[in-house]
Structure 1
Amino acid sequence: MTQGEDGGHAAPDSAAGERLTSTLIDGIELIAHEIANVSSSDVRPHHLAEVLERARHAVDAGAAGVVLTHGTDTLEESAFLLNRVWDREAPLVVTGAMRPASAPGADGPANLQDAARTAASPSARGAGVLVVFDGHVHLADQVSKVSSRSVAAFASTPSGPLAIVDGAELRLLQPLPRRAVVLPDAPLGRLPRVPTLMAGLDDDFDLLDHLPAELLSGLVIAGVGMGHVSPAAMPRLRGLLADGVPVVVATRIPSGGTSTHHYAYPGSEVDLLEAGALMAGHLPPAKARLLLQVLLADGASGPRIRESFETYAS
């Protein structure tokens, strides 16, 4: 993004690719391919399908790694979705900027430099998709945007960043974990319809009365507390589950995740589990939705969907 001459509103900049290819980083050769010059709120699954195709081709042709520049609004979601299908040892690194390229103190150049260093680092091989921001390297499955304004906009829960970029070096802060739920053949171009509903005080999800089960491939609930809903919502959720619609319950709380055993009142996690719902563990609602979508796109059945979400159990 760049701002106009008056320093006002920021908008996508057609010169972004030219700036990328002219950047010199520790002798690393950068080759730029523009996929979509859009805001991140306008990124679609077919864009990410092209990212995947180009990234695989680049690595198979000898590239040490791949950097994807992406707006920050949905960056964590694109990283998480790509991590479900990225099946190469070379890292796929996602980065962006909080400040426009024309703004004083623009953070984009430093983030790009750190991302390229990470993509070229042998220490990052086998880590899957990574997010590099403000000198920190985050695992795609754990990273979240935690500020709408700060240049330190991303953080990882529950284990913190994977590494820091220290000059030309990548310093690991923890061992590389085993990657979860890799579905290399899942189609990304068009994902099944899975809405997200947020639970709240006295919300009985009456909206579901206007969404017939046959129009839903699945449903994600952003529950309260450890993954709870109003008791008044339970009949509607039980009806969907009886019709074979998978229901996943996450929590709208930023940390701590969902539970499976703490509470057993109507609408609690125990009640939801007994009804057949799945708990999202430490996945936030947006990532739980994407995981359910890509599993359904891959033709996963109930047991495989359950097993996949159990990987993220809190």
Structure 2
Amino acid sequence: MTTATDPSAAVTLVTLGGTITMTQSAPGRHAAPDDTAGARLASALIDGVALTTHEIANVSSSDVRPHHLRAALEQARRAVDEGADGVVLTHGTDTLEESAFLLERFWDREAPLVVTGAMRPASAPGADGPSNLRDAVRTAASPAARGLGVLVVFDAEVHLADQVTKASSRSVSAFASAPSGPVGMIDGDEVRLLHPGPGRAARLPGAPADRFPRVPSLMAGLDDDLDLLDDLPPGTLAGLVIAGVGMGHVSPAAMPRLRRLLEAGVPVVVATRIATGGTSTHHYAYPGSEVDLLEAGAVMAGFLPPPKARLLLQVLLTADASPEQIRRSFEAYAS
């Protein structure tokens, strides 16, 4: 535990690893997890904040599993119930938006749960981890962040978990929010809110399951009729997410395959592969359009990108949600 001089706030740091706790064997060489880097990061003094640390894992974000997030959620709840003003979770950036979204489904405390990471290893010149951590801790301790749920803090911006996406695979300004933009910014020691946000979607009780049902994502495209579905034995899928073209469209030839799944009771959610704008429910009515898909029984993902739509469907299936409950849950993100 590291405590700043005369702390006025208490924040718990929960770590899962990622680039923020990686170092390079030599300048410009490959980065890998480094337990000592995590310890150095966690030992940073942040004026006015008592920082307590708990390591869950030290893995790349491509290796984060539901059981890691369940453990992080339970630790975060415990910390707040024992008096922490907020919680910071360090995480790799590749799947950070998905973990933040999943945690938001279950985060039921007024105190903020803030997720952050880094694009540059701890040993790299201009490493962004220390500044991101400082900003995340400031946000977790800020009264302005209370009630906003799970937040992502990166490059001095504050993002809502339901809206944030990783917009660059290289830039230190890696995250963006659509359609509303960041909900806040870090100005020195101050957290400034830029807009009130759309309000939080309904939370689910409990915590994520240790394992999720099988729900793959398929991307639609030119000359793609989703014929891969013909090779799957019956009962293979618990659900399916399509990253459709445009406002959530597939080819006419793909429709019989999707109708077969829907008639067999397999929920199909259609998102869009386009970065902004979301899916529609009423613009087009040709074969394979959003109207055709809705009439067949598919659900439109609205503003949710395919990875988040997949997670929401998996969580709902784990909770044995009915088709109507699934539909209503996605309507919260309608566009």
Given the alignment of the two structures, is residue 192 of structure 1 paired with residue 213 of structure 2, yes or no? yes
CA distance in 2, matches of 1:142, 1:130: 10
- Aligned-partner SS, 1:32: strand
State the distance in 2 between where 1:284 and 1:278 align.
13
Distance 1:187 1:149, change over 3 A: closer
Partner Cα separation in structure 1 for residue 119 and residue 27 of structure 2: 19
DSSP 3-state at the match of 1:15: helix
Contact kept? 1:89, 1:128, Cα under 8 Å = yes
1:220 aligned counterpart, secondary structure? strand
Q: Which amino acid aligns with 2:307?
A: A
Per-residue displacement from partner, 1:51-95 (whole Å, max 9, x unpaired)? Answer: 111111111111111100001000000000000011111110000
Contact 1:144 1:154 in 2 (8 A): yes
Q: Structure 1 residues 186, 14: CA separation in 2 closer, same or farther (over 3 Å shift)?
A: closer
Percent identity of paired positions between Structure 1 and Structure 2:
77
Higher share in strand:
2
Residue matched to 2:121 = 100
User: 1:192 offset after TM fit, Å?
Assistant: 1.1
Summarize the alignment of residues 197-208 of structure 1 with structure 2, pairs less than 5 Å apart. Answer: 197-208=218-229
TM-score by length of 2: 0.92
Report the Cα distance in structure 1 between the residues aligned to 2:151 and 2:287, rounded to whole angstroms: 39
Counterpart Cα distance in 1 of 2:82 and 2:57: 22
Q: Which residue of 2 aligns with 1:20?
A: 41
**Structure 1: distance between partners of 2:262 and 2:317:** 15
Query: Do the aligned partners of 1:26 and 1:168 also contact (CA within 8 Å) in 2?
Result: no
* SS of the residue 2:144 aligns to: helix
> Which of 262, 265, 280 is residue 259 of structure 1 equivalent to?
280
Gaps (5+ residues) in structure 2? 1-21
1:37 aligns with 58
Give me the whole-angstrom Cα distance separating, in 2, the residues matched to 1:94 and 1:262.
Answer: 36
Give, in angstroms, the shift of residue 221 of structure 1.
0.1
Runs of 5+ consecutive residues of structure 1 not aligned to the other structure: none
Shift of 1:127: 0.6
C-alpha displacement at 1:33, in angstroms? 1.1
Instruction: Report the Cα distance in structure 1 between the residues aligned to 2:38 and 2:222, rounded to whole angstroms.
Output: 47
Partners of 1:124 and 1:288 in 2: CA distance: 25
For 1:111 and 1:156, the matched residues in 2 are separated by 17
Q: In the alignment, which residue of structure 1 is the partner of 2:5?
A: none
Distance 2:51 2:285 in 1: 55
Is 1:78 paired with 2:103? no
Indicate the residue corresponding to 1:124 in structure 2.
145
- 2:54 aligns to what SS in structure 1? coil
Residues 203 and 230 in structure 1, CA contact (< 8 A), matched pair in contact too: yes
1:1-314 equivalence runs, <5 A: 1-314=22-335
> What letter corresponds to residue 131 of structure 2 in structure 1?
A
Kindly tell me the number of residue pairs found equivalent between the two proteins.
314
Deviation at 1:273, TM superposition (A): 0.4
Using the size of structure 1 for normalisation, the TM-score is 0.98
Match of 2:8 in 1: none
Code of the aligned partner of 2:289: S
Which runs of 4 or more aligned residues in structure 1 lie more than 6 Å from their structure 2 counterparts after TM superposition?
A: none
SS in 1 for 2:211: coil
After superposition, give the CA deviation of every residue in 1:210-267 in whole Å (9 maximum; x if it has no partner): 2234121100000000000011110010000000100000000001110001111100
Q: CA deviation at 1:116?
A: 0.1
Aligned to 1:85, the other structure's residue is in SS state: coil
**Residues in 1 aligned to 2:300 and 2:172: alpha-carbon distance in whole angstroms:** 32
CA RMSD of aligned residues (A): 1.0
User: In the alignment, is the contact (CA less than 8 A) between 1:20 and 1:32 conserved in 2?
Assistant: no
